[in-house]
Amino acid sequence: MKEKFVREVLHGMGGTLDQRQLNILRAVMLNCLQNIDIVERSEDGAEADKKENAYYLRLFVSAKKVEGCSLKTLDYYVTTIRRMAEKMEKAFIDITTDDLRLYLSDYQKINNSSKVTMDNIRRILSSFFSWMEDEDFIVKSPVRRIHKIKTAKLIKETLTDENLETLRDTCTELRNLVLIEFLASTGIRVGELVGLNKDDVNLNERSCIVFGKGDKQREVYFDARSKLHLKRYLAERIDENKALFVSLNAPYNRLKISGVEKVVRKLGQLAEVNKVHPHKFRSTLATMAIDKGMPIEQVQTLLGHVKIETTMGYAKVNQRNVKASHKKYIG
């Protein structure tokens, strides 16, 4: 098997080296390989790699689960890593930096993926191989030398006061009005909204407890107008569902994310307000809070962000206020 290996290497280098150099290469290789056994990979070997990869992936998922990652996040991790493994057809412990660079380049070309998507994939692979390094399964993560992919920092669009009033005027159902008010005054994620129960709401304190990403619990607040509309909505409900927001017709099921998105999108079309979706209310609240002087750290807590950079991505500071502050503090 050694002779076959050496012959194949020499054949591959035949067009690059002359005969004298090939003879030297052959002598060096035989000397280096004299105490090494080379076994040709079989189908069984490839199958063993798959089983070993599945084992490492299972351990990784277990570790992330213990850290508190949500099922949605875990599914995203598994899908991304499996897709890479199937394309590579190599054991995780044998994957190199060049392998991953070629994979990311091909993936972007084939799928025409955005820089944000590509950096998300890079980040997941980095997390996985860093874990393998920490667990001593590999000496060094092959993602270490693959740097963060630069992405454009786009300020998210917001709703104006006029937009919000137009949306309110468009509501013919009390439930829809409460949805608009609640999204606008709390800034919660749509997934947090649909998970709310009536018992989670404290009308007297104008607050409610939500479970955010990673099942992290936090308190959010709503304004007096939201309280009045919500109080009326709850008083007029005839169903027994514990959910805070339910469908308009029997059997009055809990609203799902798609249901809220559909309601908000339709209201936006009727009000002739461009691109209305639940998340737009969240960026609107962040922008308004910062614009009125709320400390960024408090906005971060209100929105349930782990990193303050994420909060800044939602905030669009009013340029007139920047000009006024410059005049006040500098000019």
Please write the tens of the pLDDT for every residue from 168-196.
999 999 999 999 999 999 999 999 999 99
Mean pLDDT of the chain: 87
Dihedral of CA atoms 328, 317, 210, 216 in degrees, nearest 10, equals: -90
Q: Is residue 143 part of a domain?
A: no
Number of domains in the chain: 3
Place of tokens 């005049």: 327
CA distance 136 to 139: 6
Q: Model pTM greater than 0.75?
A: no
* 113: Cα separation from own chain's centroid: 15
Residue 45 — very low, low, confident or very high, per pLDDT cuts 50/70/90? low
- Indicate if 16 and 79 belong to the same structural domain: no
pLDDT of residue 1: 67
- Indicate if 179 and 289 belong to the same structural domain: yes
Residue 139 — very low, low, confident or very high, per pLDDT cuts 50/70/90? confident
The secondary element (H helix, E strand) that includes residue 190 is: helix 190-194
Between the alpha carbon of residue 301 and those of residues 96, 133, 306, 310, the distances in Å are: 40, 33, 8, 11
pLDDT of residue 221: 93
- Indicate if 239 and 101 belong to the same structural domain: no
Q: Is residue 37 part of a domain?
A: no
Q: Residues 6 or more apart from 276 whose CB is under 8 A from it?
A: 159, 163, 167, 264, 265, 267, 268, 269
- Indicate if 122 and 254 belong to the same structural domain: no
- Indicate if 27 and 66 belong to the same structural domain: no
- Indicate if 194 and 313 belong to the same structural domain: yes
- Indicate if 112 and 165 belong to the same structural domain: no
**pLDDT exceeds cutoff 80 at 4:** no
- Indicate if 11 and 60 belong to the same structural domain: no
Residue 92 — very low, low, confident or very high, per pLDDT cuts 50/70/90? very high
Residue 267 near residue 276, CB atoms below 8 Å: yes
Low-confidence winner among 32-41, 99-108, 275-284, 286-295 (lowest mean pLDDT): 32-41
Residue 296 near residue 311, CB atoms below 8 Å: yes
- Indicate if 251 and 226 belong to the same structural domain: yes
**Tens digit of pLDDT for each residue in 289-300?**
888 888 888 888
pLDDT of residue 270: 95
% of the chain beyond a pLDDT of 90: 56
pLDDT of residue 326: 60
Q: Residues 6 or more apart from 283 whose CB is under 8 A from it?
A: 156, 157, 158, 314, 315, 316
Q: Is residue 242 part of a domain?
A: yes
Q: Is residue 285 part of a domain?
A: yes
**pLDDT exceeds cutoff 70 at 331:** no
CA distance 21 to 16: 9
- Indicate if 88 and 201 belong to the same structural domain: no
